[in-house]
């Protein structure tokens, strides 16, 4: 085993890792970066084709480099990838690609990062930028093994090609599920969404104003008033969707984000398709049959394919030898800066509890992390 001693190791070359690297480059702090994939922003290369940011470009750029003026307000996947590539060039970010982290353990006051690349790192500071969406969640139901159709996770969905003429069930109505269902419905594919729980839906824009800006404005008022205004805004603009099979959450969009970590559904057209009957809403799944699904309301429906938009987990406890006291009930670090026995570990790209979106949070947390590392280095 080759062991390399370094001060700072960034794990992950997605936007979180690059934000940290960009700030370190500006401050002259040395680091090394490892990435499991082949590109900066690797996971964005594998997202579905129609994906755009739901957050506005003014609040979504990485540190020290705004988006080009000719980029649209809501940036499509391909332009975002181009921006990440330019960011890496601008700040001289050169990750070691195709290196997978196997385990992280504390050795005295340092951290040993074991990889599958034949080199292990002994580090003073380890910045985990592996993201909240590292491992896809695959639920299981009775009868799945005898279902004769196709089951894929949303991670593997790209576009409607190959689903023409089929009946498709999307499981889960978060932002991904809602947008995949819309993508299929726009091509006149017979699609339904299985929705288990009450949800929050807000339009991406109202009268040309981004709802994100309204949400950030409401963050500045007391929670009780902001939650009341948020619920009134949602009810006024989206309306009551009970007759279509969708129940509204008793929580306001902001309260849902604070208390559960679940982002409200940012609607870009799915609600209209539901109201037109072009997207059917189904209840929770009870079990699979050979040709379809039995739902909680007792109905059985045949489907040719099922797309699991059932989310992801960070699974940091798989990487860390001891994560006790570090993670909340959602498996997410409670702080960007490790404390106590986790001192020297840093976490960027996990906090999804803010209305600014994950990229805005990355920009803020990377600033805190790099400032702490710089001060820790000076103090030695």
Residue spans in the chain of domains classed CATH 3.50.50.60: 2-134+314-379, 137-308
Q: Which residue carries 């500006």 as its tokens? A: 26
**299-337 burial: b if 16+ Cβ within 10 Å, else e:** eebebbbbbbbbbbbbebeebbeebeebbeeebbbeebb
Q: Which pair of tokens denotes residue 109?
A: 């006051």
pLDDT in tens, 103-161: 999 999 899 999 997 889 999 999 999 988 889 999 999 999 999 999 999 999 999 99
Q: Which CATH superfamily is domain 2-134+314-379 in?
A: FAD/NAD(P)-binding domain (3.50.50.60)
307 strand-pairing partners: 152, 170
For tokens 């159709």, the residue is 149
User: What DSSP letter does each residue of 324-356 carry, written as one string?
Assistant: TTTB-TTS-BS-SB--GGGTTEEE-S----STT
Q: What's the CA gap between 204 and 63, in Å, rounded?
A: 24
Beta strand pairing status for 32-34 and 2-11? parallel
pLDDT of residue 360: 87
The pLDDT, as a whole number, for residue 257 is 66
Alpha-carbon distances of 42 from 77, 125, 155, 359, rounded to whole Å: 12, 23, 13, 15
Q: What is the pLDDT of residue 323?
A: 87
Q: Which residues of the chain have pLDDT under 70?
A: 1, 211, 213-239, 252-261, 352-356, 378-380
Residue 117: CB atoms within 10 A of its CB come to 15
Unique residue bearing structure tokens 């080199």? 119
**Quick check: 139 and 154 in contact, CB under 8 A?**
no
| Per-residue pLDDT tens over the stretch 211-234 | 676 666 555 554 554 455 455 555
User: Which option is the CATH number for 137-308: 1.50.10.10, 3.40.50.300, 3.50.50.60, 3.40.50.10490?
Assistant: 3.50.50.60
Residue 350 is predicted with a pLDDT of: 87
Backbone dihedral region for residue 224 (phi beyond 0: left; psi -120 to 50: alpha; all else: beta) = alpha
DSSP state of 119: E
């Amino acid at each position: 085993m080759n062991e390399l001693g370094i001060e700072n190791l960034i794990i992950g070359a997605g936007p979180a890792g690059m934000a940290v690297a960009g700030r370190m480059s500006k401050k002259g702090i040395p680091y090394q970066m490892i990435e499991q994939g082949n590109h900066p922003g690797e996971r964005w290369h594998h997202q579905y084709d129609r994906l755009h940011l739901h957050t506005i470009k003014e609040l979504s750029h990485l540190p020290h480099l705004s988006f080009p003026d000719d980029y649209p307000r809501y940036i499509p996947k391909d332009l975002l990838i181009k921006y990440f590539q330019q960011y890496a060039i601008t700040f001289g970010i050169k990750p070691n690609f195709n290196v997978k982290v196997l385990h992280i353990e504390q050795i005295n006051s340092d951290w040993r990062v074991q990889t599958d690349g034949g080199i292990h790192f002994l580090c003073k500071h380890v910045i985990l930028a592996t993201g909240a969406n590292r491992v896809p969640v695959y639920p299981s139901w009775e009868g799945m093994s005898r279902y004769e159709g196709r089951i894929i996770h949303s991670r593997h969905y790209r576009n409607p090609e190959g689903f023409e003429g089929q009946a498709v069930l999307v499981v889960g109505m978060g932002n991904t599920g809602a947008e995949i269902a819309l993508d299929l419905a726009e091509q006149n594919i017979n699609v339904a969404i299985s929705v288990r729980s009450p949800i929050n839906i807000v339009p991406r824009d109202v009268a040309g104003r981004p709802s994100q800006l309204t949400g950030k404005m409401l963050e500045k008022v007391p929670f009780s008033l902001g939650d009341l205004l948020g619920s009134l805004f949602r009810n006024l603009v989206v309306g009551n969707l009970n007759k279509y099979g969708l129940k509204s959450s008793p929580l306001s969009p902001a309260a849902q984000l604070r208390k559960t970590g679940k982002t409200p559904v940012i609607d870009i057209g799915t609600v209209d398709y539901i109201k037109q009957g072009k997207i059917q809403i189904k209840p929770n799944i009870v079990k699979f049959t050979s040709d379809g699904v039995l739902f909680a309301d007792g109905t059985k429906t045949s489907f040719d394919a099922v797309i699991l938009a059932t989310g992801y987990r960070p699974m940091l406890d798989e990487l860390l030898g001891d994560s006790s006291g570090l993670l909340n009930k959602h498996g997410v670090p409670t702080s960007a800066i490790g404390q106590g026995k986790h001192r020297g570990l840093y976490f960027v790209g996990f906090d999804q509890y803010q209305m600014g979106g994950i990229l805005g949070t990355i920009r803020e947390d990377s600033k805190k992390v790099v400032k702490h590392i710089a001060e820790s280095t000076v103090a030695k």
